[in-house]
Structure 1
Amino acid sequence: MDYEGLEIQEAIPEASSMIETFRAIGYNLETAVADIIDNSITAGASRITIQRYWRGGKSVITIMDNGCGMNNDELIHAMRPGAQNPLEERDEKDLGRFGLGLKTASFSQCRKLSVLSKKDGYVSYWTWDLDYVALCKKWNLIHWIPDEFSTALDEVESGTIVIWSDLDRIIPTNTSQSNEVMKERFSRSLEKVRNHISMTFHRFIEDKILSIVWGSQTITPWNPFCQDEGKRQTFPEDHLPGNVTMKGFVLPHKANFSTERAYVIAEGPKGWSGQQGFYVYRGKRLLLAGDWLGLFRKEEHYKLARVMIDLPNSQDAEWQIDIKKSKAFPPAECREQIEQYAKQVRSTAEQVFRHRGKILKQRAGSEFFPLWLEKKKDNNWSYVINRQNPVIDHIKRLVTTSPNEAIEGLLKLVEATVPTKTIFINESKDEDKQEPMITVDTTLVKQTLRTLYNNYLSNGKTSKQAKALLKLVEPFNYYEDIIEAL
């Protein structure tokens, strides 16, 4: 298009309205804090300290790092919304995306964002005060910092501290410091942040690239792949277009974890079923934790399946990384490859979930005798006692000498070993659930009903009474037509 000679008109966004729009992008407290940590990592920080100060409606959260810091011009540029074009090529270690993270993440939680930074011995500071922006209706920073933090960087050679105050999206501004209910809610919200950080940045912490201090305690990493569990199953690494890699893991059955505590920790913040799926990383930073990317549903019997996907930041556009860095969508050309790989991992996870006995079979190296057998005919599942099982053979012999003991033993055995886990898995896979008794031969039903019917008659019941009683006995209540024909 030829723009020469066209009339132009500048259309500057109204500052306060635009910032309120930024506030509604969809961050929660966990993703907002993680976005600030991204900036610290990009700045080369090796230590990040997060502090929380409970003061009711005047509470404060700070995130301080020992990164390279910024001079005055660099700080003003960093405080400007859209400071970097997402289409520009970035350093492979740059965790940024749109040049909005510092602002949008902070605005989503507070009305005052203050940043103090130190570089080459000089300290610079500026503040976004949303109340002032609403008052002046301009994109104006104010040269102000809370007094208590003016010396926060005195002991470091370089670094930056981000200060959130007026936390109106977390605590109502009129909340009293003595409000114990709100204090507890504040603490619970921050505990979620701590868990999120432990998961999101676990590879940086494990690789000793970074330590993150929470108050006075160093955060320990939460690794979703249980790298210290010897009975974890690992799949070969697969490669996708754009230098993207994929690696699958199946975690051990609960009985095969090294300790009960290890099993509880491996469950993760979202629980066993919630943590299954893909874990999408961008530059070692976890973007998406436990999601099947629209390819599969989360189901209980796949809960041990976890797949790592590693992206370089050059794939942001192809994978549609969102502004919060909490969503990703695989390109159409590699979805089938991802799906096929994940199916293998899920299949193994199902087998581990379904059969603890599978391991016993492999170890024994000889014929295994299950008590129950699964059968599928015309898309209907049935579960039958294995007549070849030695226990059943023993009960058959016992019937001739101690029939009551044999029958009671059989009933207890059936009660204790009904394959509920297998039934649950098979039924959850079928959209059309089968009715009970649908696969039973009606000849057997008729023979059994006739025997019971005659027994009722011999005990003095009328035909009508006998039939009425049979209709109350499961599973014969499904065969009223046969009962009426007796």
Structure 2
Amino acid sequence: MSDIESIVSIPDPGRTMEGLRDTGYNFETAVADLVDNSIAAEATKVDIQVARDFRGNIRLLISDNGIGMDKKGLVQAMQYGSPRRPDPASLGKFGLGLKTASTAFCRRLSLISRPSGGAVALMATWDLDHVIDNRQWLLQMTEEVDSEGLEKLDDVAPGSSGTVVLWDKVDRLLKNYQDPTGAPARKALDKRCGELREHLAMIYQRFLDVNDKRARDVEIRLNGKPVLAWDPFQKGLSELVAEDSPRVEGSGAGFQVRAYILPRREEFPDDEQAKAAKLSSGMQGLYIYREERLIHAADWLGMYQKEPHGTLLRVEFSFDHKLDDAFHLDIKKSQIILNEDLWGWLKDQFLTAPRREADRRYRQGKKKEISKRSKDAHDASNNSIRNKEAEIGGARVNVTNPDTGEVTVTNGQGTFKTILKISSASKPGEVYVQPAEDVADGLLFEPAMIEQHKAVRINTQHPYYHKVYVPNLNSSVTIQGMDSLIWAICSAELSATTDKTAEAFRDMRYEVTRILRKLVEGLPEPDTDDNSDAP
């Protein structure tokens, strides 16, 4: 066997740094990765500033009052693949986040830090262009600290230890604007900061909420204003419907899973609380926490599709660092992979009952909502048919026994007796098309007599109404078109009915109802919350 020669193979610094800019960070997850480092450094205050100068150049500074670093600590922190932290529970894990998260958006990353004991602050800088020009891993170190960075350090940690992360040459945060100083660019940056605020409020909710004792208190400010905790489970308003604490085989550790069903929008105490809950189908799913920090939100991990009827269900999944390997935590600490047994247990056992109950409550609320929204949706149809009733003509129908529904129908075939639904107008003018929840046998529609007028009662609880009518309730022309068709079918039935054909027409309504039920199965569930919040 020949000898094996070991050769030191050093990657090209410029190409490596450029390549690591594309590790998949978005702005919110990148900043959160840096906040993780502040919390890992035992900071109780984190101040984030995102600003533009008069030329449109963006700078980001994240300052904290953590333990700080001396020169050796700075060098190690800026090293790609920095040494493992002594605390395995630390939010910082792989020694890459500071660099990869930052250079995903900027070409110059500086770290300013001051240890305890009155030492001076030092600044270490990775400048990608400097590295590329010199083709070496050249980390720049200086005591001539950026003045704005030092000012921020003194603000958040006056006379004590702390650290500032500074982004310069920010080239990937905004699209290319012809005028980087103009209003469109300013609005775009404001929008990004608003999204960042919401993200931090959700990610660090347990740290930001002084009443939540699962994590130590940390104050986070963004552009001078505090970030307020946002609880996805709306505890105190939602209902805990299932919980368990299983252990993962072979790991010696367990995790907690809790299923919450939120109130429907109209069940919240007020509109502000309903808005704050961000009720939408996009916000349903598992919320996964590692060491009390949310790492992945609103996702069923491939178990189910997000459908409106699951809107009310949100599930907490919490674990600690002992399960990092078992759950295959990724480099951005933003995703886990469950083994087949655990995935199956969640999908087929734990979540079955909560999903069924959330679906029931959602649909129960939808019935009320659909009934409310359909109340005035058919007014135009009633007016249109009233204006054409005399011109259309057709069979004459007289009610002979309102208690039994017996009527006499006179048409071109003669005079016959049959049974119709006898109803009263639920409001003035609603005598031709009437939305109803009690249509016999669950049929989509039934002929009726309302205030001595030939009419149709349409079942608002039928899937066809739910999936075809409901999305179009605000479109008067569409509703009139569908109503006119169904009313015409019922009117034509009366014009053609005889003693021998009456039963055949009833059978036809059953068959039409059955076919339409099947045909709309594949149509999407309508989200009838007009002011639902996007994820």
* Fold conserved between structures, TM > 0.5: yes
CA deviation profile, 1:53-100 (whole Å, cap 9, x unmatched): 212442201111111111110110010011135xx8x62540122110
Question: Normalization by structure 1: what TM-score?
Answer: 0.74
CA deviation profile, 1:7-49 (whole Å, cap 9, x unmatched): 1211100001001111000001000000000000100011101
Structure 1: 5+ residue runs without aligned partners? 360-394, 426-446, 456-473, 479-486
Shift, 1:320, TM fit: 1.8
User: Cα gap change, 1:256/1:325 in structure 2, threshold over 3 Å: closer, same or farther?
Assistant: same
**Whole-angstrom distance in 2 between the partners of 1:257 and 1:419:** 25
User: Cα gap change, 1:147/1:454 in structure 2, threshold over 3 Å: closer, same or farther?
Assistant: closer
**Which of 174, 177, 183 lines up with 2:186 in the alignment?**
183
> What residue is the counterpart of 1:170 in the other structure?
173
**What SS class does the counterpart of residue 412 from structure 1 fall into?**
strand
Query: Is 1:54 aligned to residue 65 of structure 2?
Result: no
Query: Is 1:419 aligned to residue 415 of structure 2?
Result: no
Which is strand-richer, 1 or 2?
2
Letter in 2 for 1:318: A
User: Cα gap change, 1:279/1:420 in structure 2, threshold over 3 Å: closer, same or farther?
Assistant: farther
User: Cα gap change, 1:315/1:475 in structure 2, threshold over 3 Å: closer, same or farther?
Assistant: closer
Q: Is the 8 A contact 2:264 2:365 kept in 1?
A: yes
> What residue is the counterpart of 2:385 in the other structure?
none
Shift, 1:183, TM fit: 1.3
Letter in 2 for 1:221: A
Q: Is the 8 A contact 1:72 1:124 kept in 2?
A: yes
> What residue is the counterpart of 2:377 in the other structure?
none
CA deviation profile, 1:225-269 (whole Å, cap 9, x unmatched): 00131x5343233324132111111111222112111111111xx
User: Cα gap change, 1:188/1:95 in structure 2, threshold over 3 Å: closer, same or farther?
Assistant: same
Shift, 1:423, TM fit: 6.9
**Whole-angstrom distance in 1 between the partners of 2:166 and 2:103:** 12
CA deviation profile, 1:105-153 (whole Å, cap 9, x unmatched): 0010101111101112222210111110111111111125433323433
Alignment map for 1:336-485 (pairs within 5 Å): 336-339=344-347, 340-356=349-365, 396-397=402-403, 406=424, 411-414=433-436, 418-419=460-461, 452-453=495-496
CA deviation profile, 1:165-209 (whole Å, cap 9, x unmatched): 111001478975532211111111111111100110001111361
Shift, 1:322, TM fit: 1.3
CA deviation profile, 1:265-323 (whole Å, cap 9, x unmatched): 111xxx61111000000001101110001111111101111111111112122212211
User: Cα gap change, 1:422/1:116 in structure 2, threshold over 3 Å: closer, same or farther?
Assistant: farther
Q: Is the 8 A contact 2:76 2:83 kept in 1?
A: no
User: Cα gap change, 1:14/1:214 in structure 2, threshold over 3 Å: closer, same or farther?
Assistant: same
Structure 2: 5+ residue runs without aligned partners? 369-400, 408-419, 437-456, 468-489, 499-510, 516-535
Aligned-residue CA RMSD (Å) = 3.4
**Whole-angstrom distance in 1 between the partners of 2:230 and 2:458:** 37
User: Cα gap change, 1:449/1:318 in structure 2, threshold over 3 Å: closer, same or farther?
Assistant: same
Alignment map for 1:225-244 (pairs within 5 Å): 225-229=233-237, 232-241=239-248, 242-244=253-255
> What residue is the counterpart of 2:258 in the other structure?
247
**Whole-angstrom distance in 1 between the partners of 2:165 and 2:494:** 83
> What residue is the counterpart of 1:138 in the other structure?
136
User: Cα gap change, 1:420/1:95 in structure 2, threshold over 3 Å: closer, same or farther?
Assistant: farther
User: Cα gap change, 1:326/1:95 in structure 2, threshold over 3 Å: closer, same or farther?
Assistant: same
Q: Identity of paired residues, percent?
A: 29
User: Cα gap change, 1:210/1:417 in structure 2, threshold over 3 Å: closer, same or farther?
Assistant: farther
Q: Is the 8 A contact 2:62 2:164 kept in 1?
A: yes
Alignment map for 1:84-95 (pairs within 5 Å): 84=83, 91=87, 93-95=89-91
Q: Is the 8 A contact 2:245 2:254 kept in 1?
A: no
> What residue is the counterpart of 2:93 in the other structure?
97
**Whole-angstrom distance in 1 between the partners of 2:404 and 2:151:** 87
**Whole-angstrom distance in 1 between the partners of 2:328 and 2:106:** 27
**What SS class does the counterpart of residue 63 from structure 2 fall into?**
strand
Letter in 2 for 1:150: L
**Which of 17, 37, 40 lines up with 2:38 in the alignment?**
40
| More deviation, 16-25/326-335 | 326-335
Aligned residues: 396
**Whole-angstrom distance in 2 between the partners of 1:183 and 1:318:** 44
Q: Is the 8 A contact 1:354 1:421 kept in 2?
A: no
**Whole-angstrom distance in 2 between the partners of 1:150 and 1:11:** 38
> What residue is the counterpart of 2:79 in the other structure?
80
| More deviation, 318-327/18-27 | 318-327
**Which of 99, 113, 118 lines up with 1:117 in the alignment?**
113
Letter in 1 for 2:40: T
User: Cα gap change, 1:189/1:420 in structure 2, threshold over 3 Å: closer, same or farther?
Assistant: farther
> What residue is the counterpart of 2:382 in the other structure?
none
**What SS class does the counterpart of residue 111 from structure 1 fall into?**
strand
